[in-house]
Amino acid sequence: MSKTVISVEHLSKHYRLGVIGGGTLREDLNRWWGALRGGSQHLVQLESEDFEDRKQGQIWALRDINLEVKEGEILGIIGRNGAGKSSLFKILSRITAPTSGRAVISGRVGSLLEVGTGFHPELTGRENVFLNGAILGMTKAEVARKLDEIVEFAEISKFIDTPVKRYSSGMTVRLAFAVAAHLEPEILIVDEVLAVGDAEFQKKCIGKMGDVANEGRTILFVSHNMRAVSMLCNNGIVLDSGRIVYASSAENAVHHYLNLNNRQNDSRWKVVRENKEKRCFFQNISAHNKNGEETSAFSMGDDIELRIEFYTRNIIDRIDIGVSLEHRDTGIRIFGTTTKITGNTLLNAKGRTKVHFVLPENLLAPGSYCFTLALSKEETVYHLVEAAVYIEILPARHLNPGLAKDVNFGFVSMPHSWVFNQRILNAVK
């Protein structure tokens, strides 16, 4: 039996939401003074409304997590947003300490929580590789040994002595990922970074992850892409509200997760408290049929309308709204678009904005799908809601001329026609 490299015992993490550097000495002094004078009753009075709010905003991001990861295991961690995936990763990569419990890790941990940490725009590519490498825990000698490989992987050899501030954002990301990918830790933590870069580069990244896996090193992988999880991982755990609710093979975990979501409210996504701290966030996302009724069940002949409401704290010009459609059981992304791609520019969004997104009738084959939405601008993603709204497409009730009633298999209904003996029988949309 291979040895245990990560052992987590009764790990819990408690957060106080909303305490964003807002603590002032006066507030604390007030509290102490209040406690001194009149006991706890007085305390409540002295606390500002703001403080009351914060008190209620306490959450357990992780509750009593027990976990063992063996050497060479590729563990997929899945769960909705806010289920505790990031908290677990942050504790395992020592960015923050747990509230209780402990974890023992044997081997060097490399995390790809976010790439390009500590890049300084004034330094050249080469200097940044050394700096970034050192931040990630490599020695100077190690970086020097791998420098050529890193530069080649990032495809920026011509610009290696140019300050990074002159790089395009794509170049910066490639260089940053190249450094992280060559870290060669015994345990690699990957959190959705594969979403960066162009398709070609993504392929390289997946390849690199595969290499790492083949070398017998351990990988913890967080993704919302169910297909990637079931393909890449051997085992999977499902997190929900800070607890491990399921642990099994990756495939079983994916199924369990999808079923778990089945039971939750499908047609509407509503903003939760922690989202409200973002600069710009979705408030409501809901699916409606052509009569304007909110629903998650559509017939093939129905238009699907997403009603999107978002809020921007300050003016954001040309904010990009992205929508992608995924097939629920497989996680395959069928379609994705953004306002930018289609040239629908939204100038100077501020405050509350309502947007309708419509998919016309007869596009999707019967089955379950979900929409993922994002608010972004250039490289910055303000808010990403994975699997915000679920819809179920059912076969049409009646056979209408010119419309398909059902599809034999696949995800889409393509316009087509049948020709028998030179006579077009029926063109179907």
140 binds another protein (CB under 8 A): yes
186 binds another protein (CB under 8 A): yes
428 binds another protein (CB under 8 A): no
Nearest to another protein of 71, 329 (CB atom): 71
Nearest approach in angstroms of CB 168 to another protein is 20
- Residue 195 has φ and ψ, to the nearest 5°, of -75, -10
24 binds another protein (CB under 8 A): yes
Contacts (CB under 8 A) with another protein, residues 205-264: none
Contact residue for another protein among 52, 53, 68, 114 (CB under 8 A): 114
Contact residue for another protein among 43, 46, 123, 394 (CB under 8 A): 123
- With a CB cutoff of 8 Å and minimum separation 6, the contacts of 88 are 11, 62, 65, 77, 239
Nearest to another protein of 102, 352 (CB atom): 102
Question: Which of these ranges, 120-128, 148-156, 211-219, 385-393, lies near another protein under the rule CB under 8 A?
Answer: 120-128
131 binds another protein (CB under 8 A): yes
**Positions of E strands within 233-366:** 235-240, 243-249, 268-270, 280-288, 297-299, 304-316, 320-327, 333-338, 349-359
Nearest to another protein of 68, 152 (CB atom): 68
> CB of 388 within 8 A of CB of 372?
yes
Contact residue for another protein among 38, 48, 137, 397 (CB under 8 A): 137
Nearest to another protein of 26, 263 (CB atom): 26
Half-sphere exposure of 85 (CA within 13 A, CB side): 24
Give the bridge partners for 369, in sequence order.
327, 391
Dig out the tokens for 286 from the structure. 């809901």
Question: Which of these ranges, 111-119, 272-280, 319-327, 331-339, lies near another protein under the rule CB under 8 A?
Answer: 111-119
- Residue 232 has φ and ψ, to the nearest 5°, of -85, -30
Nearest to another protein of 6, 388 (CB atom): 6
Distance CA 27, CA 45 (A): 12
16 binds another protein (CB under 8 A): yes
Number of Cβ within a 10 Å radius of residue 424: 9
Q: Cα-Cα-Cα-Cα dihedral of 84, 85, 86, 89, to 10°?
A: 120
Distance CA 300, CA 293 (A): 16
Contact residue for another protein among 1, 26, 45, 158 (CB under 8 A): 26
277 binds another protein (CB under 8 A): no
> CB of 180 within 8 A of CB of 204?
no
Location of structure tokens 């996680």? 331
Question: Which of these ranges, 126-134, 170-178, 223-231, 240-248, lies near another protein under the rule CB under 8 A?
Answer: 126-134
Nearest approach in angstroms of CB 333 to another protein is 27
Kind and range of the H or E element at 230? helix 226-232
- With a CB cutoff of 8 Å and minimum separation 6, the contacts of 29 are none
Nearest approach in angstroms of CB 392 to another protein is 39
162 binds another protein (CB under 8 A): no
The interface mask with another protein, positions 69-108, x = CB under 8 A, is ---------------------xxxxxxxxxxxxxxxxxxx
Nearest to another protein of 54, 340 (CB atom): 54
Nearest approach in angstroms of CB 323 to another protein is 29
Q: Cα-Cα-Cα-Cα dihedral of 341, 346, 351, 356, to 10°?
A: -70
134 binds another protein (CB under 8 A): yes
145 binds another protein (CB under 8 A): no
Contact residue for another protein among 55, 120, 270, 318 (CB under 8 A): 120
- With a CB cutoff of 8 Å and minimum separation 6, the contacts of 344 are none
Distance CA 365, CA 355 (A): 25
SS3 (DSSP) at 310: strand
Nearest approach in angstroms of CB 399 to another protein is 57
28 binds another protein (CB under 8 A): yes
Number of Cβ within a 10 Å radius of residue 7: 14
Nearest approach in angstroms of CB 245 to another protein is 23
Contacts with another protein by CB under 8 A: the residue count is: 53
| Contacting residues toward another protein, per CB under 8 A | 3-5, 15-16, 19-26, 28, 90-109, 111, 113-114, 117-118, 120, 122-123, 127, 130-131, 134-137, 139-140, 163, 186
